[in-house]
Amino acid sequence: MRKTLAAATLGLAALSTSPALAEETPKLVTILTSPDAQTQLMGMVLTMQSMQQGAEAYVLLCGPAGDLALKEAPAAATAPQKPKGMSPQALMQNIMAGGATVEVCAIYLPNKGIEASALLEGVSAAKPPTVAARLLADKTRIMSF
């Protein structure tokens, strides 16, 4: 009787901890630095696909890729590309609408000589300690373009 009770208790304990052991939401950090519009778009495509498969996405735009976040972005950022006629900036905005956080590198605005008001609504300057924590978080995937 005692062995049966102990086995039943262990079995119930294992069942009750199963939900706590459920997989965490996958986390994705996309770091985009390339000035190339096709590379920028592909980075956004893969980020969107990851979100559609359940990932929580964060996008960091540095250097020339930071221009995607500008209200007055260069033509390369806004020009439609084949095969779907989507631009890097438009897909980035779709990603943001889907819940992703998009930030420019902390040094982007001062080195560009512009204020945060030049950025699209919802985009802000990253804080290095916060970005570092994202990069070091358990079970985080990092894509860099």
Angle between helices 37-52 and 88-97 (to 10 degrees): 20
So what's the pLDDT on residue 24? 82
The mean per-residue pLDDT over the stretch 93-113 comes to: 98
List, for residues 13-64, the tens digit of each pLDDT value: 444 444 444 568 999 999 999 999 999 999 999 999 999 999 999 999 999 9
How many residues are there in the chain? 145
List, for residues 125-144, the tens digit of each pLDDT value: 999 999 999 999 999 999 99
So what's the pLDDT on residue 23? 67
Contact between 57 and 95 under an 8 Å Cβ cutoff? The reply is yes
The closest of 85, 88, 108, 98 to 54, measured between CA atoms, is 98
Confidence of residue 8 (pLDDT cuts 50, 70, 90): very low
So what's the pLDDT on residue 95? 98
So what's the pLDDT on residue 4? 40
Pairing label, strands 56-61, 124-125: unpaired
Domains annotated for the chain, with CATH where assigned, are: 27-144 (3.40.1260.10)
So what's the pLDDT on residue 22? 53
Cα gap 68→41, rounded to integer Å: 10
Q: What is the mean pLDDT of the chain?
A: 89
The closest of 52, 17, 40, 9 to 102, measured between CA atoms, is 40
